[in-house]
Amino acid sequence: MTTIHFEAVPAVEAHRRTPGLVVMKFGGTSVGDTDKLKRVAKRLVAAREAGSKVVAVLSAMGKTTDELIRLAHEVSEQPHPREYDMLVSTGERISNALCAMAIHDLGHEAVSFTGSQAGIVTDGSHTKAKIVEVRAQRIHTALEEDKIVLVAGFQGVSTSTHDVTTLGRGGSDTTAVALAAALGADACEIFTDVPGVFTADPRIVPTALKLDRVTYEEMLEMSASGAKVMALRSIEVARSYGVKLRVRSTFAEGEGTWIGEEDDVVLEKAIISGVTHDTSEAKVSIIGVPDRPGIAAKVFRDLARAGVNIDMIVQNVSQDGAASITFTLPKTDVPIAEPILDSLGAELGASRIERDPDIAKISLIGAGMKSHPGVAADMFDALAEAGINIEIISTSSIRVSCVVRADQVERAVQAVHDRFQGFAQARVDG
């Protein structure tokens, strides 16, 4: 029996290894049409014929998820979360079932499972559920029957309500990593439309360099600050369970990027691992609230209770006993935050509340920053030289982030990447 628990507590049963098992995840572009699906089927069959046991996790085809979300908003301003999950989880059913059919035609046995059938058990928070357990018995049985197993990514079933849940955008990465952990796979391979993890989004910075190795810590910061090549939660799970990950191209040969434990060789050279950007957040300012203990606690407690994820926070120095609190939050959480902000504004006697969706965050990540003073100053200087104004700054020990105007973000990423190109090159050469 393989049961693994994914919350803060350690696994209650040691998960058994499945020697020779590989989990292979293919993203939306990789399964964008039926020809591509047939190519993925061939690849899975080739891995099986080479002797591996194969569990595949496929995303929905191309832009299917975007299209389903668009439909939901066409019929409802704020789609009911349970029904939203019922709807958007269907995209992955389509791609996985089609791929299983294509595998049958290649003369191999395959079976596709929904998240629920695969035993992906989550908490009950629709649209951003967390995997709490994987009950992998059905997958084990299918593998023992010599089948290639396909699991619909990005979805599970709630323990409390038995309803279908989804894991948030990019959630198929998390499905793949959780399965690799629960099944004790040899490796988890993430096939996507770029050859690996780069020092910046290669679609914005053509001179960005592919990294051969990235530590969990660096990848966590990169994902958290917008590098959507890997979903944040998938890296948290990989780190907790020591799942070795490889990001590589579906369309070209190559080593890709390995993501794993810290390693001295990487760290010594890791002054900078990348520049990331994120346009998915909005900024809110509560202007003119009383400057006394308990105000910030009240604001952020009320927002947290509603499940709103707050990212950067600044409180300015008070003037005449009144302060302003500014923070960023995901644009998708704004509709949930709106009524809370209105009642907070009235309750606290704020002079006004400003909403600003036209912002972007740019971040510089690097484990070696800790021991190299001046990195932040160089970043601010590069932005200043490009004539880009910084609205908010926040830092962690291995990250510096700045909020800028959304329409300047691509220029900002290029300017900062140019400034640190030498460090990036040194790391890749090393």
Q: Which residue has the tokens 């849940």?
A: 165
Q: Which one among 169, 244, 246, 411 touches ligand ASP, defined by CB under 6 A? A: 169
Crossing angle of helices 375-385 and 409-429, in 10° steps, is: 140
User: Does 288 interact with ligand ASP (rule: CB under 6 A)?
Assistant: no
Q: Report, in Å, the least distance between residue 278 CB and ligand ADP.
A: 10
Structure tokens at 95: 């791609």
User: Does 154 interact with ligand ASP (rule: CB under 6 A)?
Assistant: yes
Among the residue ranges 59-67, 232-240, 251-259, 275-283, the one whose residues contact ligand ASP (CB under 6 A) = 59-67
Tell me the site size for ligand ASP, rule CB under 6 A.
13
For residues 246 and 187, is the Cβ–Cβ distance under 8 A? yes
Number of Cβ within a 10 Å radius of residue 265: 9
Q: At CA 179, angle to CA 173 and CA 182, rounded to 5?
A: 140
Q: Which is nearer to ligand ADP, 62 or 290 (CB)?
A: 62
Crossing angle of helices 81-88 and 90-105, in 10° steps, is: 20
Q: Which one among 115, 119, 156, 170 touches ligand ASP, defined by CB under 6 A? A: 170
Structure tokens at 254: 């190559």
For residues 136 and 183, is the Cβ–Cβ distance under 8 A? yes
Task: Name which of ligand ASP, ligand ADP, Mg ion, none residue 100 binds, using a CB cut-off of 5 to 8 Å depending on partner kind.
Answer: none
User: Does 196 interact with Mg ion (rule: CB under 5 A)?
Assistant: no
CA 206/CA 200 separation, integer angstroms: 9
User: Does 198 interact with ligand ADP (rule: CB under 6 A)?
Assistant: yes
Q: Report, in Å, the least distance between residue 172 CB and ligand ASP.
A: 3
Cα Rg of the chain (Å, integer): 23
Task: Name which of ligand ASP, Mg ion, ligand ADP, none residue 197 binds, using a CB cut-off of 5 to 8 Å depending on partner kind.
Answer: ligand ADP
Task: Name which of Mg ion, ligand ADP, ligand ASP, none residue 203 binds, using a CB cut-off of 5 to 8 Å depending on partner kind.
Answer: ligand ADP
Task: Name which of ligand ADP, ligand ASP, Mg ion, none residue 171 binds, using a CB cut-off of 5 to 8 Å depending on partner kind.
Answer: ligand ASP
Estimate to the nearest angstrom the gap between the alpha carbon of 410 and the chain centroid.
Answer: 20
Task: Name which of ligand ADP, ligand ASP, Mg ion, none residue 91 binds, using a CB cut-off of 5 to 8 Å depending on partner kind.
Answer: ligand ASP
CA 205/CA 188 separation, integer angstroms: 27
Q: At CA 55, angle to CA 49 and CA 58, rounded to 5?
A: 115
Pairing of strands 322-330, 359-365: unpaired
Scan residues 380-399 and list those touching ligand ADP (CB under 6 A). Answer: none
Among the residue ranges 81-89, 139-147, 191-199, 340-348, the one whose residues contact ligand ADP (CB under 6 A) = 191-199
Scan residues 52-71 and list those touching ligand ADP (CB under 6 A). Answer: 59
Task: Name which of ligand ASP, ligand ADP, Mg ion, none residue 154 binds, using a CB cut-off of 5 to 8 Å depending on partner kind.
Answer: ligand ASP
Among the residue ranges 168-176, 191-199, 218-226, 288-296, the one whose residues contact ligand ASP (CB under 6 A) = 168-176
Question: 158 - beta bridge partners?
Answer: 122
Q: Which DSSP symbol is given to 207?
A: T
Q: Which one among 79, 170, 274, 368 touches Mg ion, defined by CB under 5 A? A: 170
Cα distances (angstroms) measured from residue 402 to each of 127, 291, 378, 384, 393: 28, 26, 13, 12, 5
Nearest Cα residue to 366 out of 417, 330, 293 = 417
Q: Which is nearer to Mg ion, 2 or 166 (CB)?
A: 166
User: Does 172 interact with ligand ASP (rule: CB under 6 A)?
Assistant: yes
| Helix residue ranges, H only, 31-80 | 34-49, 64-75
Which residues bind to ligand ADP, rule: CB under 6 A? Answer: 27-30, 59, 170, 192-194, 197-198, 200-203, 227-229, 274
Which residues bind to ligand ASP, rule: CB under 6 A? Answer: 27-28, 59-60, 65, 91, 153-154, 169-173
Which residues bind to Mg ion, rule: CB under 5 A? Answer: 27, 170
